[in-house]
Structure 1
Amino acid sequence: MAANTNVPQSFKIAISDSKLDWVTQRVQTSLVIPDVEHAGGKEWDDGAPSATIQELIDYWKNNYDWRKVEARINSTFNMFTVDIPEGDEVINLHFVHHRSERPDAIPLLFAHGWPGNFTEVESLLSLTAPEDPTQQAFHIVAPTIPGFIFSSSPKAPGFTILRVGSVYHQLMLKLGYKRYIGQGGDWGSMILRGVALSYPDSCVGIHLNMVAALPPKPLQHPITLFWLALRWFTAEEKKRVSRMQWWLKDENGFSRIQGTKPQTISYALLDSPVGMLAWIREKMEGLKEPSYVWDKDLVITWTMLYLLSESSWHARIYKEAAPVLKTEILEKKIPSKVAFGASCFPYDVGYAPLWWAKVSLAENIVFWKEHSHSGHFPSVECPDELKSDIWAFVGSLSKETRDALQSGN
């Protein structure tokens, strides 16, 4: 009898030998294009340096073992799939679900982005059973964006961020979580903002590690707009805003390519393991704290996961979601019934000062922390700080909200 895909089915990664042999053969016969000579500190100006890619390829050839990685992922994460209807689509959604044994645990929806993936939630799994029994425990749910990695792809255009949010919300209800909070960055931050806008009675709080805000509306907030026009920032705020502007001006070419011709770029990336490796590794460089060193196994594993998707949606999301992001998400303030928290890391690429966020982003900001280090992937770069912030965010919620989260699921 066929499995009932309307209820969660246990999932294990089991990549075929033929697929793995294909990847191995492509890596073994890869060609690294020579780079030009750059001045010191300019090595990444034209993209991923050939020396960096060659080092990763050599490691992939001689040290990386996908079968060991596959076994570790399968043993680390409780993974499932389930069919979720969304309009005229049905998404077979891949997700991680670790349920706490604590009766007072709070459901936490973790939303990843690109070029990240569900494995970013690994450092948060310990939140199901904190060593300190006085600290809040969580049920952890981490879906994979439709069309990414092991989630099935939408069959037609028009699958925007609000529709992704609908899929995530339906998943939480299917798992029995009537009320929950969310945590995320990158596309995950936009997905959670969409969930908060659409389902404020269920998604009662979101904590983001990437914030973006439109300029204040002139008629409603003329003074704040005046401050913004004069760049009335502190020295640190200027640095963070300037980094965001640098990213949008000098580092955003990938999103223009993915946002205009996602199918074409996907032929190139999914047919070339080294091409996908270079594409992902180059973006990872600009998103981290300069002193942080990416683990080679992690970089190759993230590359492998996208290769295994055999889908263009890792690129297509930039075409389907980005053009309507302003009207669907950015122009709308998160309502007061949804508690909002932010952790701002200096090497992230989305930023707005608190005074700006108060008028353009959320009505009910209960937690805001500006960190002195780390970048776009805090669950990987500085997991202890992120966990502390999640606890602090929950501690900032009203007693009524916490009681509802703890008792209503």
Structure 2
Amino acid sequence: MNDIEPFTVPSFTPEQLALLKDKLSKPIFPNELEEDYGWDYGAPTWAVKPMATEWLENYDWEKPRAEMNRWHHYHTTIDGLKVHFVHEPSSNPNAIPIMLLHGWPSTFYEFHKVIEPLRDGVNGGQAFHVVVPSLPGFGFSEAPKTKGHGVVKNAEILNSLMVKLGYSQYLLQGGDWGAIIGKYIATHYNTNCKAFHTGLPFCLPPLPTPRNLLFYPFKIAKFGASLLFGFDRIYGKGKLILNGATFANAEMYDGCGYRAIQGTRPYTLAYGLTDSPLGLMAWMLEKFHEWTYHPPAQRDLQALPETISSEAFLTQVTLYWLTNTMSSSIRIYYECLKQKEMYKVVFPRVKIPVAVTAFAHDISRLPQDWLETSTDLYQYSEFESGGHFPASENPEEFAEDVQRFGKILQTKKIIQ
């Protein structure tokens, strides 16, 4: 552990701040149709303009920077890359280790509302030794320098980080790429990763495999019926949502265009996202709008849900801008697609304890039947609100669900 070095979240240099202010003060907004079609064409000007003005005139990086620097940040080198992580050990003697993994277009800051509650065992719940890495190429973690750094390589590095910190056994929680990388860790590094908590499970339906025929014949029949009569009729309305299941099938899901571009031509897109803070912010705003829970009457009228403040969103954007990592962060789509890594993620059965949370407006959802045949499902929770960023949108429910699962693991001594 000699190469683990303390790190402080930096301020902007005067030159960096001047450049950002200059670019934001001279925006060129795109041509739009005369009639307002809400978010059908992507992020509309009426949503982007006020956010750009907020970033230019009112946003103060020093405020969230002070919040972030309450936590202990470090850098360490693994496989030639300098990896950033937050490490907040608990003083509770019954605490267990947990790694929280973010995805895209997010950062370690996604967990800013839950790091301390999980560390401290809020409300008498399970306490954790909390580790929150920045994925390589995201935020303050160094970007991969060679081709092929996708899910498999990320999994190797992140598991090595936990072992390097002395956590030979741990619980992993992840969403988005954190869920994809997390699933791979759960199935390939289960000597160390002893349990997996996620809101975005990736698994197969109840196919007629020998194991399923022996243990789950009714679930196989139910799946067959769903193919004939429709998923909603058999499993219940909204219990199966597969928006996360394709890279480029826009006929099936019109929100997947970004995946097709980032998975095939990330360099070309990166010029606009790297040179223009306005373009970067709008690209992220569309996802933070679309993937979060809004009351139905408000969805087309507001940019962000009330659960995510403009300051919190702009902090995520600023982390990408300050570190110039949007270009390196989107390359994971290319590496995963070209190496066909999703086959390595989806097909294996998870043999360690699993907890799944189904928040109301996450991008995908699988029926509990599917989870029971493809994982060792210990806990399943459904929520009437929340979306793709539950630690930010619904921090109390998120923390309580993780704590409840952690208590099971601690009581059953699954994590020693």
Match of 1:320 in 2: 335
Rounded Cα–Cα distance in structure 2 between residues aligned with 1:380 and 1:235? 33
Pick aligned residue for 2:315 from 274, 298, 301: 301
C-alpha displacement at 1:143, in angstroms?
0.4
Query: What is the CA deviation profile of residues 60-106 of structure 1, one whole-angstrom value per residue up to 9, with x for unaligned ones?
Result: 222112233333322x3321111011xxxx11001111111111111
Contact 1:32–1:53 (CA<8 Å) still a contact in 2?
Answer: no
Deviations 1:117-164 (A, max 9, x none): 1011112222211344x4211111010010111110111111121211
Q: In the alignment, what sits opposite 2:289?
A: 285
- Matching residue of 1:275: 279
Percent identical across equivalent pairs?
29
Give the conservation status (yes or no) of the 8 Å contact 1:367–1:396.
no
C-alpha distance in 1 between matches for 2:51 and 2:2: 39
- Mark the runs of 5 or more structure 2 residues left unpaired by the alignment: 213-219, 296-304
Aligned counterpart for 1:79 among listed residues 69, 73, 87: 73
Q: Partners of 1:372 and 1:103 in 2: how far apart?
A: 34
Secondary structure in structure 1 of the residue aligned to 2:114: helix
Letter of the structure 1 residue corresponding to residue 67 of structure 2: R
Shift, 1:240, TM fit: 4.5
The answer on 1:155 being equivalent to 2:110 is no
| CA distance 1:179–1:166, shift in 2 (3 Å) | same
Quick one: which of 323, 326, 329 aligns to 2:345? 329
Distance 1:327 1:243 in 2: 16
Between the aligned partners of 1:375 and 1:237, the Cα distance in structure 2 is: 19
How many angstroms does 1:354 deviate by? 0.7
Q: 1:219 to 1:108 in 2, by over 3 A?
A: closer
Equivalent position to 2:406, from 365, 371, 394: 394
In the alignment, is the contact (CA less than 8 A) between 1:212 and 1:350 conserved in 2?
no
Q: Which residue of 2 aligns with 1:264?
A: 268
Q: Distance in 2 between matches of 1:239 and 1:397?
A: 30
**Structure 2 residue corresponding to 1:15, chosen from 12, 27, 48:** 12
**CA contact 1:240–1:346 (8 Å) conserved in 2:** no
CA contact (8 A) 1:204 1:401 kept: no
In structure 1, give the amino acid aligned to 2:391.
Answer: S
Say whether the 8 Å CA contact 1:346–1:371 is kept in structure 2: yes
* Aligned residue among 96, 115, 121 for 2:105: 115
Equivalent residue for 1:370, pick from 365, 382, 387: 382
Gapped regions of structure 1 (runs ≥ 5): none
Partner of 1:6 in structure 2? 3
Q: Does 1:52 align with 2:47?
A: yes
What amino acid does structure 1 have at the position aligned with 2:119?
A: T
Deviation at 1:34?
Answer: 4.1
Structure 2 residue 68 is matched with structure 1 residue 68:
no
Deviations 1:184-229 (A, max 9, x none): 1111111111111111121100110112333343444542541341
SS in 1 for 2:357: strand
Q: Which amino acid aligns with 1:22?
A: L
Letter of the aligned partner of 1:43 in structure 2? G
| Cα distance, 1:15 vs structure 2 | 3.0
Counterpart mapping for 1:149-298 below 5 A: 149-220=139-210, 221=212, 222-230=220-228, 231-233=230-232, 237-242=236-241, 244=243, 249-291=253-295, 292-293=305-306, 294-298=308-312
TM-score by structure 1 length? 0.89
- Give the distance between the partners of 1:37 and 1:218, measured in 2 at CA: 54
| Contact 2:266 2:334 survives alignment (8 Å) | yes
TM-aligned CA deviation for residue 370 of structure 1: 1.4
CA distance in 1, matches of 2:147, 2:221: 41
Q: Give the secondary-structure state (helix, strand or coil) at the position aligned to 1:123.
A: coil
User: Contact 1:213 / 1:356 at 8 angstroms: preserved in 2?
Assistant: yes
Q: Distance in 2 between matches of 1:375 and 1:37?
A: 31
